[in-house]
Amino acid sequence: MNEGADSMLKISGLEARAGGRDILKGLDLEVGRGEVHAIMGPNGSGKSTLAGVLAGRPTIEVTGGSVSYRGRDLLAMDPEARAREGLFLAFQYPVEIPGVNNVYLLKAALNALRKHRGEAELDAFEFLGLVKDKMKLMKMDDSFLNRGVNEGFSGGEKKRNEVLQMAVLEPALAVLDETDSGLDIDALKVVANGVNSLRSPERSMVVVTHYQRLLDYVMPDFVHVLSGGRIVRSGDKALALELERRGYDWLEEESAA
Amino acid sequence: MSTPATRMDLPVLPDWIEAAAAPRSGEPGWVGARRRAALEQFRAAGFPGRRDEAWKYTSLRLVERRSFASSPGPVAAPGPARIPAIHGLDGPRLVFVNGRLVEADALPEGLTAVPLVDADARVAEPLLGRIADPARHRFAGLNLACFAGGLLLDVPAGLELEAPLRLVFLSDGGREPALSCPRLLVRAGANSRATVIEHYFSGEGETLCCATTEAALGPGSRLVHYRLQEESADAFHLGVLAARLERDATFVSHNLSIGARLARLDLDVLLQAPGAAVEMNGLYIAGGRQHMDSHTRVDHAAPRTTSDEIYRGVLTGKSRAVFNGRAIVHPGADGTDAKQSNANLLLSPDAEVDTKPELEIYADDVKCSHGATTGQLDAEALFYLRSRGLDLETAQSLLTFAFADTVLARMGLETVRRHAERLVTGRLPDSERIQEFT
């Protein structure tokens, strides 16, 4: 078996700047097909910057290193090309877009993907059938469909809408940026349930989170600690529990030593 | 008794204006007197210049340089192909060419439409030129001096009209630039309900459409007014829409301006009795070298009156827009609620907008809010859409449409809204990419 077939994402020596500051300072990470990786770390460690780099956020400047996604140079691709190649970012702060209908956006997004893959576009009827199934999974009622994208949604509704989009678009690599933040326990369970339903041997996930709470529901294969713009420790689920018990300080002290 | 000023003391008006305002035979004396007064007022004021505060950002040099001929007699009805359809819209239609009524469907029972010059003087005389004051709106004055026929639309008290009435105004030039001065007077009787659509477009050649509409809303009446201006790139448009509201009357104004080389609308609303309410929704889309000017004014002259205004503009190319929104809360107009917002989207570095909210409050216990913004598309929203697989052009086009559609979404008539959306999409960059959204 060649190496490329099992590799979903390979990040080497990644350096990035945002807001006039160096945030990522030589980050290495490798994600295999079907694996779920959790990225944890204190505030300001660069977690969201990493998620942003992967999706192609224009306000982040990559100053060094490389990112290979399914054997291709990810950094050379536009955000829309990344999406069409199966990369999905669940936003930490989903954007409200009044006037753009939620269901139309979903349909346009799905059809952009299908067109890219050379598949027939879905008509309105087929699409609606698909989307309603996924909405049941996310415990969303039909009124969500005809509202503006995230318009007037509560924090929890926005996060559920992100996972709904993910469920409809069925990405090869899903990056979840603090999808658990701001959720009460019931909403967290719904979101985790949605994420778990998407786990498959073909799909990889990078779950960025500050707290290990989400990881009680979405079991990661690997846990990495990001601090000062680099991965300072990697382990399995036990590392997340240790972080919960001891906080992040001991790691920072250790890595500074 | 004062001595009338001699002609020699006064500025000379261009011949085409003198010709358009030439005395008519067969009109009632009071109409003629009002025309003459309006002409003299316009002569004294002249064309506005930069020093006129209300025209500071809008130059009429291009209009002044030209000569516009008025149609001397009756004109032929245009073929149906020349009148843009509004798909699915029911209701009677009246067609005007260069201000003259040329075609009229049968009207619903109770509703009457007669040329202003033939109207019952007891109805028309107290209103004509009294709502759109020529001293405030000099092109309403020019229209008063020059209008041909005009129309009085009388909605009697208590009549509730289901179907909207659509008035189509075609300005048609030819070898020489043409003048068109449509004039409409709407009287909405007490507790009546009506919807009127004014639809402006132009045919061949250069045209100047100097349109004035006055509306008198009786107690408890509701008038919904649509104004769609889609004239050609050779057209000049100087419109005035003035309404006066009695107790508990409601006036809803939708104004879409996408056509003409230069377009100006003065919207002037007087809330003169308690409980009167106005909603003003405006959208202007300008591209190329177009110039769009919206001047709105609301006078809260009585207690518990409300105004709710949202005006938005999208500018591309080297276009320019002006928005001036004035709200005056007069002494004693306690409990006034006045909301105003103006937002502009500049899609080109060469486009320019001047926006100015003016709020004057002389009463107590008043709720007023206003805001004006000018900017580009939201970068985070663009990124969000692209991260879902939409290409940059589609994302830009979609966000632009959504920005504009916020105004159109307030239109109650689905058929007109769809028509307006089609017009807007047709004018936005890369709009073919968002067909499935609209």
Residue A12's domain comprises 3-256
Plot region of B76 (φ>0 → left; ψ -120 to 50 → alpha; else → beta): beta
Q: What is the pLDDT along chain B (438 residues), one digit of tens a residue?
A: 445 555 556 678 999 999 999 998 889 999 999 999 999 999 999 999 988 999 999 999 999 999 999 876 667 778 777 888 899 999 999 999 999 999 999 999 999 999 999 999 999 999 999 999 999 999 999 999 999 889 999 999 999 999 999 999 999 887 889 999 999 999 999 999 999 999 999 988 899 999 999 999 999 999 999 999 999 999 999 999 999 999 999 999 999 999 999 999 999 999 999 999 999 999 999 999 999 999 999 999 999 999 999 999 999 999 999 999 999 999 999 999 999 999 999 999 999 999 999 999 999 899 999 999 999 999 999 999 999 999 999 999 999 999 999 999 999 999 999 999 999 998 887 777 777 665
Say which CATH number the domain at A238 has.
3.40.50.300
Determine the pLDDT at residue B438. Answer: 59
Interchain CB contact of A19 with B (< 8 Å): no
Label the pairing between strands B165-171 and B100-104.
unpaired
Q: How many domains does chain A have?
A: 1
When scoring A95, A101, A104 by the number of chain B Cβ atoms within 10 A, the one with the most, hence best to mutate, is A95
- Minimum Cα–Cα distance from B379: chain A residue: A58
Contact residues, chain B, for A104 at CB < 8 Å: 436-437
CB contact under 8 A, A109 and B390: yes
Contact residues, chain B, for A101 at CB < 8 Å: 437
Beta strand spans in A19-141 (E)? 21-32, 36-40, 60-69, 72-73, 87-90, 97-101
Contacts of A253 (CB under 8 A, 6+ apart): none
pLDDT band at A246 (very low <50, low <70, confident <90, very high): confident
Of B386, B402, B436, the CB nearest to A97: B402
Question: Burial of B410 by CB count in 10 Å (0-12 exposed, 13-18 middle, 19+ buried)?
Answer: middle
When scoring B310, B380, B387 by the number of chain A Cβ atoms within 10 A, the one with the most, hence best to mutate, is B387
Cβ-contact B365, B333 below 8 angstroms: no
Cβ-contact B239, B265 below 8 angstroms: yes
Interchain CB contact of B380 with A (< 8 Å): yes
Put simply, the chain B residues between 383 and 422 with a CB less than 8 A from any chain A CB are 383-392, 394-395, 398-399, 401-403, 405-406, 409
CA A94 – CA B302 distance, rounded (Å):
45
- Minimum Cα–Cα distance from A112: chain B residue: B389
Put simply, the chain A residues between 147 and 166 with a CB less than 8 A from any chain B CB are 148-149, 165
Determine the pLDDT at residue A1. Answer: 36
3-class secondary structure, B248: coil
At position A38, the amino acid (one-letter code) is A
- Minimum Cα–Cα distance from A124: chain B residue: B436
What letter would DSSP give residue A203?
B
Domain boundaries, chain B: 9-273, 381-438
Contacts of A147 (CB under 8 A, 6+ apart): A101, A102, A153
Question: Burial of A246 by CB count in 10 Å (0-12 exposed, 13-18 middle, 19+ buried)?
Answer: exposed
CB contact under 8 A, B386 and A107: no
Interchain CB contact of B44 with A (< 8 Å): no
Of B378, B387, B394, the CB nearest to A89: B387
Of B383, B398, B409, the CB nearest to A58: B383
Contact residues, chain B, for A58 at CB < 8 Å: 379, 383
Interchain CB contact of A175 with B (< 8 Å): no
